[in-house]
Amino acid sequence: MPVEILSVQPEANAAFARAHDREALKSYYGFTVVWHEQRHDFSAVEDGTTLGVATIEIAASLATVKGVIVAPEARRRGIGRALLAQASDVANYYNCHKMTAEAPHGSAAQAFLEACGYHVEAVLPQHAFKLDMAIMRKFLL
């Protein structure tokens, strides 16, 4: 009988993933891995009003910037930079060697990341929405 490929709810795969995760990670990375993921959220607040937010995810000693948003009326006051600086401190505390972030190549977001100490590591052609995307990084250690 041929193997069938089914679309399933995520919970349906949980037990299989738990049973095979450890071996699969070892096979993938080439050494024994204890996988641990964390998410950290930051807000910039002034007089009780949130002006900006940022999120990072940490896994594999790498911190990934998942989002930085500053309210349009609060931009260019250093809030985005301060959010990423706090995120870097937390990533450093958890022994991350590197922060990574993505931005459309040549965009204002890339300029912002460069101003925050990130460098272009690679450009993925025709990636998100078919845009060229810059993979940016900042080493912490």
Ligand X SMILES: CC(C)(COP(=O)(O)OP(=O)(O)OC[C@H]1O[C@@H](n2cnc3c(N)ncnc32)[C@H](O)[C@@H]1OP(=O)(O)O)[C@@H](O)C(=O)NCCC(=O)NCCS
Residues of this chain that bind ligand X (CB under 6 A): 65, 68-70, 75-81, 101, 103, 108-109, 111-113, 115
18 or 76: whose CB is closer to ligand X? 76
Name the residue number minimizing CB distance to ligand X.
80
Q: Tell me the closest approach of the beta carbon of residue 78 to ligand X, in angstroms.
A: 4
Closest CA to 120 of 109, 131, 129: 109
14 or 115: whose CB is closer to ligand X? 115
Euclidean distance between CA atoms 132 and 105, whole angstroms:
6
Half-sphere exposure of 89 (CA within 13 A, CB side): 7
17 or 85: whose CB is closer to ligand X? 85
Euclidean distance between CA atoms 129 and 61, whole angstroms:
29
65: helix, strand or coil: strand
Q: Tell me the closest approach of the beta carbon of residue 16 to ligand X, in angstroms.
A: 35
Tokens 């993921």, residue located: 37
Q: Tell me the closest approach of the beta carbon of residue 46 to ligand X, in angstroms.
A: 12
